[in-house]
Amino acid sequence: DFVVTQSPDSLAVSLGERATINCKSSQSVFYSSNNKNYLAWYQQKPGQPPKVLIYWASTRESGVPDRFSGSGSGTDFTLTISSLQPEDVAVYYCQQFYSTPQTFGQGTKVEIK
Amino acid sequence: QVQLQESGPGLVKPSQTLSLSCTVSGGSVSSGNYYWSWIRQPPGKGLECLGYINYSGSIYYNPSLKSRGTISIDTSKNQFSLKLNSVTAADTAVYYCARGYNSGWYGVWGYWGQGLLVTVSS
């Protein structure tokens, strides 16, 4: 199985500041035939199901604020929240869907400092 | 807008079979070549995709289920289901049903039910 590891496990950021979450896959999730990275990011707020924010590593889902951005390729990826807002308090998961079984990272909890 | 809702018992005894259904509204399980999945989350832990199905008959099971799981579609009820037999305490989790974000996609889960907590205990 592809192992997906996120860092840090948690972080506290001041309102309006940048939050950065890293995601590393044990093997490359880049598919050269279509030039896509098979990686997605989800946001999960307490008591709610996950919500997809980004797929193909950097494509923002419709309606997701542009303060959320994804980057990276191959095995190393980053989710950046450029200016943290109160409603961004959540656990964030990355997921690889290049190989079966698709696997999720362990999650990163984002809080307000 | 498609909506999904899980249903089933919240408590299952060890060694018995966990049976869950997901009712779909605002769309049909038999159209659009969408994939329908079951994803679970043990309390305080991360997410595990158990498997997925589409109306054309394509089914995938996570090997972690060790052949204990069955996913099926019931078009008459516009539902899909999960059966997991020989459950243990390790199967205690919130179970989510979800739909692929786009037609033909089985990697990005764009629509989710609210989740159902299933506890395995005697």
Kindly state the percentage of chain B with pLDDT values over 70. 100
Please report the beta strands in A8-75, taking only residues with DSSP state E, as ranges in sequence order: 10-13, 19-25, 30-31, 36-37, 39-44, 51-55, 59-60, 68-73
Nearest chain A residue (CA) to B62: A101
Nearest chain A residue (CA) to B112: A49
Q: Among B106, B110, B115, select the one facing A52 at the smallest CB separation.
A: B110
**Cβ contact A61–B49 (<8 Å):** no
Tens digit of each residue's pLDDT (9 = 90 or more) over A5-32: 999 999 999 999 999 999 999 999 999 9
Tens digit of each residue's pLDDT (9 = 90 or more) over A61-89: 999 999 999 999 999 999 999 999 999 99
Chain A contact present for B62, CB below 8 A:
yes
Query: Quick one: pLDDT at residue B105?
Result: 87
Query: Quick one: pLDDT at residue A54?
Result: 98
- Token pair 């590593």 in the structure block, residue: A57
Q: Among A50, A100, A107, select the one facing B112 at the smallest CB separation.
A: A50
* Contact residues for A82 (Cβ-Cβ < 8 A; gap 6+): A18, A67, A68, A69
Indicate the pairing of strand A108-112 with strand A10-13: parallel
Query: For residues A17 and A11, is the Cβ–Cβ distance under 8 A?
Result: no
Kindly state the percentage of chain B with pLDDT values over 90. 87
* Closest chain B C-alpha to A82 CA, distance in angstroms: 23
* Contact residues for A30 (Cβ-Cβ < 8 A; gap 6+): A36, A37, A38, A73, A74, A98
Q: Is the pLDDT of residue B104 over 90?
A: no
Query: Quick one: pLDDT at residue A64?
Result: 97
CA atoms within 13 A on the CB side of B13: 2
Contacts of B107 in chain A (CB under 8 A): 38, 40, 55, 95, 97, 102
